[in-house]
Amino acid sequence: MQFELERLGIHDSVDAVFPPSELDAFLADLPVTVEVVDDDGIDACDAVVTRDYHEALLECAWIHSIQAGIDRFPLDDLEANDVVLTNSTGIHDRTIGETVAGYLLAFSRRLHEHVANQQQRRWDRPEWDEAFTLPGTTACVVGTGTLGRGVAETLGALGVRVTGVRRSTDPVPGFEEIYATDDVHAAIGEADFVVVTVPLTDDTEGLFDAAAFDAMREDAYFVNVARGAVVDEPALIDALESDAIEGAALDVFETEPLPEESPLWDLEEVIVTPHCGAFTRDYFRDVGGIVRENVDRLEAGEAFHNRVV
């Protein structure tokens, strides 16, 4: 698709992740006008970099999402209106990998307990058999895309055996064994840690339900850095409260922010983080690199990088 790009807007919704002014300054040398815009300013733009979807974006020629997930965007409407959508797939592998590694290290070295004890000024050591090390454990990563591969690379360096679940059983670098999606319960049943990195689709919505948690080991930990709707949250809470699984680290939830009345806040073996697993001070540079590349590609008449629609 070819169009004349004269004005590139940076929607103020990106402020949930980084200051829009940082991306504005980073892209200031582009051969187009770049400016931060609010909802009312979208109409004046040919292209917009955004976190959130607004109906006014249907009048643009190109939208770039600062996230990898595209479940916020009405793909059929965008296609019907000849709007190009690109996303930020490819920039979150290391950040998500390190976040997941942090969760696993917190559980294995009991760091979350020490932080909680510090808040209470309590000098309380773990029981002799509580702490452990990661080499020799197994993590099953459900989803072997960019996020899953980043998790596998980081955990593998810590001595964790990493298995994966994907649509086919074709081998994937960084994974010692691959299971097909139909065999997900068998795969997670053998793991010390189950890590979810799949995108939210019709097929993955509610993928982790009561049956999935029943398939997990009682001493296993559940980690979700995908989307909240991939998990049946009441089923997860039941599994945690009944000790059907050992614990969970959760960066995403069915309702965000997580409601104050959620039992997840108070469960001892649960780590709650506010959907920030991919955050880094370089986030705006990583996004800006993709935007800059696509501006160059547009000028050269080449295909967009990371085009979704």
Residues annotated catalytic, as ranges: 227, 256, 275
Contact status, residue 27 vs residue 108, Cβ threshold 8 Å: no
Contact status, residue 220 vs residue 194, Cβ threshold 8 Å: yes
Is residue 257 reached through a cis peptide bond, with omega within 30 degrees of 0 on the bond before it? yes
3-class secondary structure per residue, the chain:
CCCCCCEEEEEHHHHHCCCHHHHHHHCCCCCCEEEEECHHHHHHCCEEEECCCCHHHHHCCEEEECCCCCCCCCHHHHHHCCCEEECCCCCCHHHHHHHHHHHHHHHHHCHHHHHHHHHCCCCCCCCCCCCCCCCCCEEEEECCCHHHHHHHHHHHCCCCEEEEEECCCCCCCCCCEEEEHHHHHHHHCCCCEEEECCCCCCCCCCCECHHHHHHCCCCCEEEECCCHHHECHHHHHHHHHCCCCCEEEECCCCCCCCCCCCHHHHCCCEEECCCCCCCCCCHHHHHHHHHHHHHHHHHHCCCCCCECC
* Phi (first) and psi of residue 239, to 5 degrees: -65, -40
Polymer length of the chain: 309
| 307 strand-pairing partners | 86
